[in-house]
Amino acid sequence: MDYVEFIARITSHIPDKGQVMVRYYGLYSNAHRGKKRKAGEDIFHPLIEDHKVIDRIIRHLKLAFHAERPPPPQVVQQELLMAAEEREEYF
């Protein structure tokens, strides 16, 4: 293959101006999301929020994290203050 043929093959993959190359099917398509929105259903799947279920999954996958040592007390105090400010609670 000479260089002219190589360049011709490569440039054939470059889309024309304004041409869309990515198409979404199934759950990611605009039509599906529009139908779900009109029906009043949640578009995205709900995430797992139950702490007991999360703990079971972590134990099953053996992903337990154990810190080598606890964080310094000033870091813990700072995190508590930041959390209280977010909830607009004060000590």
Mean pLDDT of 42-66: 78
Domain total of the chain? 1
Token pair 């040592």 is found at 69
- State which residues form the domain around 61: 19-86
Cα(59)–Cα(63) distance, rounded to whole angstroms? 6
Question: Is residue 59 one of the residues assigned to a domain?
Answer: yes
Mean pLDDT of 47-71: 80
User: Is the whole model's pTM more than 0.85, yes or no?
Assistant: no
Cα(28)–Cα(35) distance, rounded to whole angstroms? 12
Question: Is residue 5 one of the residues assigned to a domain?
Answer: no
Res 25 pLDDT > 80: no
Cα(36)–Cα(42) distance, rounded to whole angstroms? 7
